[in-house]
Structure 1
Amino acid sequence: MTCVQLKYVGLLAVFLAITVNAAGDLSAAETAPGGTLQIGAGGSDVTTLDPHRATTSTDKPVIGLMFNGLVRFKPGSADPKDLEPDLAERWETSTDGRVLTFFIRKGVKFHGDWGSLTADDVVYSLTRAADSSRSSFAADFAPVEGITKVDEHTVRIALKYPDPNFLGRLSNYHGGNIVCKRAAEELGDKFAAHPVGTGPFAFSEHETQRHVKLAANEGYFRGRPQISTIMYRTIPSDSARELAFSSGELDVIQGRREQRWVDTTRQRGNMVVDVFRPGEFRTLHINTSIPPLNDLRVRQAIAAAVNFDDLVQFVGKSVSLKGCSVVPPGYIGEDCSAGAYGYDPVKAKALLAEAGHADGLTLKVVVSNISAILPTMEIIQRQLAKAGIKLDMSVVDHATYQSQIRGNASALVFYGAARFPVADTYLTEFYHSRSSIGTPTAVANFSHCDVADAEIQAARVEGSVERQQELWKEAQRKIHDAVCSVPLFELQQVWGHSKRVNYGYELKGAMNLGPPITETTTLMPR
């Protein structure tokens, strides 16, 4: 072959390579305009993809990407004042506040081949959410008297009594998520592993303890998402998530909710750190069904042995807020008039001695290994030891922890939760006897507290705002005096993202505890 021929072959090869690459790039651009967004979340795995059962901080962010509510929190906000239409174009409220009529958007498609959204799906979803055998949020729908279909795109909800906070329970969060009736009925128990919603992203696959893969909903009613695929990876190790981010394998990660981590990471400049609400309110629940914790003096000793200021100082002022009641800071109805428990290890020892435990006592406690729980529990363990209370801690992965604390296996339960910001949601879920662990209607009453049932129930149906506040105040006082739990602090959400990621909104809050990825979120090429 001559030099001219060789030169020709070489040029042809280059031309073909350019042509192939160009075609490949064009194809990729057509099918994947925004590429794949890699998210690294904490926890070892998602527990469920059923939106009416998902309660953990690992489940909720991915649920929020697949489902809509009748109304929604504006992206980037967790403020009830920012509720806006979602699957409902509009709604009307009767003059007495007891009837809400929702007018459903027409032409909204479910993921896959499951058809279009109708009033039947809305009635089914909200009825399902109100059923304790199928939902973890049934208590939120206690005010409902009836849910009826008016026509194919109109739904009427009648309440037993006016509830000014009820609209928020119909948002894209917890029981407000709307599911496909046909899919839920036909799939049955398999629906939790193959969810069908209307959100910007649709379920694709779940590899246990690895990832959940989501695909852009091509027919999303707000427009096709700019991101084509989301890989929601569950990585329990903080250092592993950070290493994967530094190497470019992850674009968004759940950060460490510690002041030192936030400050150090921001100084490095390779990550945009977001600290946002709602915080998960950290509470030390005391299991009164386990002796000797059924003795008030022992519970009082535990409360007196906890140094709240040291805990807040450890976590950091920009990521935590000290609590003063069993209802989280800033919730409608929070009341701090009963006062916080004072740190007094001498008093704690005296109370133990009075209860017959002068030589101290040992409590078996189950603790999650995630960074948002274990380090704080280790500090509490050292604090209680100074008063003669030894914690025999069994450290397990987060999924096992969630299972065991719901099996009544722990004397103390260190738990954090963010709920719709009104006192009733927290009091009902954590302090009403119907929510006690081990009962058919169990939610998260780890302490088996029952001292304020009457006030919690009365406040729920009270028409006077002033009287409702008084009832919530009395409930909080009774729970405080019974020492059902020791409220600690609110821990803000901490996430980080690459500068390649533009969420498309200002992130100040997210009820689903992770940054919402919407149809406007973009990912710049590397």
Structure 2
Amino acid sequence: MTLRITLSAALAAATFLAVPATAAPKTDLTVGMAAQDVGQLDPHRAVSTIDRTVVAWMYNGLVRFKPGTMDPTQIEPDLAEKWESSADKLDWTFHLRHGVKFHGDFGELTADDVAFSLKRASDAKTSAFSADFAAFKSIEATDPYTVHIILARQVPSLLGLLTNYSGGYIVSRKAVEKYGADFTRNPVGTGPFAFVSDTPNQSLELTAFNGYFRGEPQLAHVSYRYIPSDSSRDLAFQNGEIDLVYGKQDQAWINRIRALPNTVVDVFEPGELANLNLNITAKPLDDIRVRQAIAYAVNRPELVKWQGADTARPGQSVIPAGYLGFSKDVGLANTDIAKAKALLKEAGYPDGVTIKVIHTQLPQMLGSMQVVQAQLRKAGINLDLQVVDHATFHQQIRKDLSPIVYYAAARFPVADIYLTQFFHSASIVGKPTAVTNFSHCDVADKDIDAAKTEPDAEKQVALWVEAQKKIVATACAVPLAEALQIWAHRTDLDYGYELKASLSLGPLLTEATHFK
């Protein structure tokens, strides 16, 4: 009997060893980003693509866009499980989920954290998005799970301001007070992934937050690698060293990467509209004829052709196409080099003019600006590009150090936010209420302000259209092109949703993201 049992066990063991074990699913994601480091991990200051993408993996809002979308009609509960508002939309009450935890040892999310976060987002000293919250009259935690918001006036989309985007992110009050100015390098949120470390010129490391209220993430670890060189980043992806890669908004790149085995190229909304913002108070741009000459020298179809049909479309106004309030009938100038030269001569520059411009080394933005530089040169306008790293670029343009600012951006898809941030006088850089008005434009203030409180939808849209016409006529900014978001990933990576759009400008990593 003993011998029989021993032989049976040996045969069973041999059979087990002969059958190869199924490999455990991969759980570590490596991302390749065109950067040397992040600029801000404080979500209320995160403005660049580099920062926005990773911040979205760590934080939540009271509400959220359904993953993979940017459709305001699909906004759904997030940290708040329900809400109600008064008939006039000025009085709102949000009821929080119970048991939501912050990363680390910062405890449970309460209404006090929400009130603190939204007040912080509305303060220009602590937020890049304070102008969005100008209509907030009061924000109060009425009990540990209830937040009461009163508006001084109606806003086009209150829920849009409270999504998992820009100023809508909720931070831990205890963490902000503990870390102070160092909070930007010690981020604490409630999202599916928690901060571990940041090593400049190397990577940002995140770990799965097992206490995430939507469920434990299927990815265990995310390494956000900084690879500023296009060729190095592409080679790392081709060699299988990274699973998800930031792409170039360039047709040749898309075609080349699509040809790689086991690869998917993601092309998704929003289209980031690139404008040349012209400081109307700085010489020689204080002369409208010089600004108009720039407008006539720009060749949008040529720029789109250079970027590629899959990734770009011509700018049609000073706000992106598809936004509520957008109009393509705003009087944009068509390319006319002879007219541009004549305007320069009339302005006192018969031999042309040179303008120093600070610009980012971020590859796709630099390439596009170099195309614009070549276009303007044909009219005698020489842009002397001072190229700096992306974080420095953002710092310097906000100090009003560049008379021309090439800025590509997407915002919540309602005209009000874009017009307010880029073209209202309250948002002029250098002011306490500054946002991104690099042109010092103020010609459309009355229309922008009136639209904020206009109850009639048709009249509201008409005011937004009139604002666009005035901004174009004054040549505060020259629209260039809208570039869609381009990333690529391995076929074994499943986002857990269909990626059609992402306002964080990168694929959203959720608890459902996994390797197949």
TM-score where L is the length of structure 1: 0.92
Aligned length: 501
* C-alpha contact (below 8 Å) 1:43/1:399 kept by paired residues: no
Q: Deviations over 1:357-400 (max 9, x none)?
A: 11111111122222211111111111111111111112222222
| 2:363 counterpart SS class | coil
Q: CA deviation at 1:288?
A: 2.0
Match of 2:251 in 1: 259
Q: Which moved more, 1:492-501 or 1:405-414?
A: 405-414
Q: Which residues in structure 2 correspond to 1:42-441 (within 5 Å)?
A: 42-441=34-433
Match of 1:3 in 2: none
Q: Deviations over 1:292-351 (max 9, x none)?
A: 110000000010011111011111122112121111111111122222211100000110
Q: CA deviation at 1:500?
A: 1.9
* C-alpha contact (below 8 Å) 1:143/1:461 kept by paired residues: no
| 1:288 counterpart SS class | coil
Match of 2:3 in 1: none
* C-alpha contact (below 8 Å) 1:47/1:399 kept by paired residues: yes
* C-alpha contact (below 8 Å) 1:332/1:421 kept by paired residues: yes
Q: 1:74 & 1:268 partners in 2: Cα distance?
A: 30
* C-alpha contact (below 8 Å) 2:357/2:383 kept by paired residues: yes
Q: CA deviation at 1:463?
A: 2.1
Which AA in structure 2 matches 1:122?
A: V
Q: 2:26 & 2:502 partners in 1: Cα distance?
A: 23
Q: 2:271 & 2:328 partners in 1: Cα distance?
A: 18
Gaps of 5+ in 1: 1-10
* RMSD value, Cα: 1.9
| 1:402 counterpart SS class | helix
Q: CA deviation at 1:413?
A: 1.2
Which AA in structure 2 matches 1:473?
A: V
Q: CA deviation at 1:409?
A: 2.3
Match of 2:7 in 1: none
* C-alpha contact (below 8 Å) 2:156/2:416 kept by paired residues: no
Which AA in structure 1 matches 2:185?
A: A
Gaps of 5+ in 2: 1-9
| 1:92 counterpart SS class | strand
Q: Which residues in structure 2 correspond to 1:510-521 (within 5 Å)?
A: 510-521=502-513
Q: CA deviation at 1:411?
A: 2.5
* C-alpha contact (below 8 Å) 1:237/1:370 kept by paired residues: no
Which AA in structure 2 matches 1:325?
A: S
* C-alpha contact (below 8 Å) 2:448/2:463 kept by paired residues: yes
Q: Deviations over 1:392-445 (max 9, x none)?
A: 112222222222222222232111011101111111111111211222222111
Q: CA deviation at 1:164?
A: 4.1
| 1:40 counterpart SS class | strand
Match of 1:5 in 2: none
The sequence identity of aligned pairs, in percent, is 51
Q: 2:155 & 2:361 partners in 1: Cα distance?
A: 39
Q: 2:426 & 2:154 partners in 1: Cα distance?
A: 22
Which AA in structure 1 matches 2:344?
A: L
Which AA in structure 1 matches 2:248?
A: R
* In the alignment, structure 1 residue 461 sits paired with structure 2 residue 453: yes
* C-alpha contact (below 8 Å) 2:139/2:149 kept by paired residues: yes
Which AA in structure 1 matches 2:300?
A: F
| 2:420 counterpart SS class | helix
TM-score where L is the length of structure 2: 0.94
Q: 1:124 & 1:266 partners in 2: Cα distance?
A: 46
Q: CA deviation at 1:233?
A: 1.3
Which AA in structure 1 matches 2:255?
A: D
Q: Which moved more, 1:461-470 or 1:284-293?
A: 461-470
* C-alpha contact (below 8 Å) 1:431/1:448 kept by paired residues: yes
Report the CA distance shift for 1:436/1:75 in structure 2 as closer, same or farther (over 3 A).
Answer: same
| 2:364 counterpart SS class | coil
Runs of 4+ aligned structure 1 residues displaced above 4 Å come to: none
Q: 1:313 & 1:435 partners in 2: Cα distance?
A: 33
Q: 1:435 & 1:366 partners in 2: Cα distance?
A: 20
Q: Which moved more, 1:225-234 or 1:366-375?
A: 366-375
Q: 1:268 & 1:196 partners in 2: Cα distance?
A: 38
| 1:58 counterpart SS class | helix
Q: 1:483 & 1:219 partners in 2: Cα distance?
A: 51
